[in-house]
Chains A and B, each alone.
Chain A
Amino acid sequence: MELKKFLNFSLIGVIGSILLILSEFFSWFSEHNLIELYVITTDVAIEDSFLFLFPLISGIICLVASCLVIYKFKLKIKSVIISFVGLGFLIIFFIDYISQEINFLLNAGVGVYLGIAGFLLNLISLINLLITIER
Chain B
Amino acid sequence: MGVLKIDKKEIDVNNSRKQDIESSFYYALSHEIRRKIIKLIGDNEYTSFTNLKKELKVSTGTIYHHLDTLSELIEKQANKKYYLTELGIYAYNSLKDNIETMTSTDSEFKSPILKKLTHITLKRFIVFDKKDKKYSILLSISIIIAGTILCGLNEFYAFLFFFMDFNHRELETIIEFLIRISFILNFIILFFIIEGITRIFYKKKESSMNFFISFAIILFPLIFYLSIHLIFKFTNLVGISIFNFIDKIFMVFFQVWSLWLLSYSLSVNKGLKIERSLIISLLLHYGGFTIILFFLV
Contacts and interface: CB of A to CB of B under 8 A. Distances in A.
B242 A50 contact: yes
Interface residues of A, number: 35
Contacts of B185: none
Contact of B279 (A91, A99, A131): A131
A62 B137 CA distance: 37
Given A50-B241, A89-B248, A98-B297, 17 more contacts: A41-B241, A47-B239, A47-B241, A47-B244, A48-B241, A50-B242, A50-B244, A77-B108, A81-B256, A85-B252, A85-B253, A85-B256, A95-B292, A98-B293, A130-B282, A131-B275, A133-B275
A94 B241 CA distance: 18
A42 interface: yes
A95 B107 contact: no
Contacts of B248: 50-51, 54, 89, 92
Nearest to A92: B248
A49 interface: yes
Contacts, number: 87
Interface in B265-281: 273-276, 278-279, 281
Main secondary structure of the interface of A (DSSP, over half): helix
Contact of B241 (A49, A77, A98, A123): A49
Interface string A57-88: 00000000000000000100110110011011
A94 B293 contact: yes
A46 interface: yes
B282 A95 contact: no
30 contacts: A47-B240, A47-B241, A48-B244, A50-B244, A51-B248, A77-B275, A78-B113, A80-B278, A81-B256, A81-B260, A84-B281, A85-B253, A85-B256, A87-B286, A88-B251, A88-B252, A88-B255, A89-B248, A92-B248, A94-B289, A95-B162, A95-B293, A98-B293, A98-B297, A130-B275, A130-B276, A131-B279, A133-B275, A134-B275, A134-B276
Interface of B: 104, 107-108, 111, 113-114, 162, 238-242, 244-245, 248, 251-253, 255-256, 259-260, 273-276, 278-279, 281-282, 285-286, 289, 292-293, 296-297
A77 B240 contact: no
Contacts of B286: 87, 91, 123
Nearest to B238: A47
Given A80-B278, A126-B282, A50 B260 contact: no
B16 to A, nearest CB: 37
A81 B285 CA distance: 13
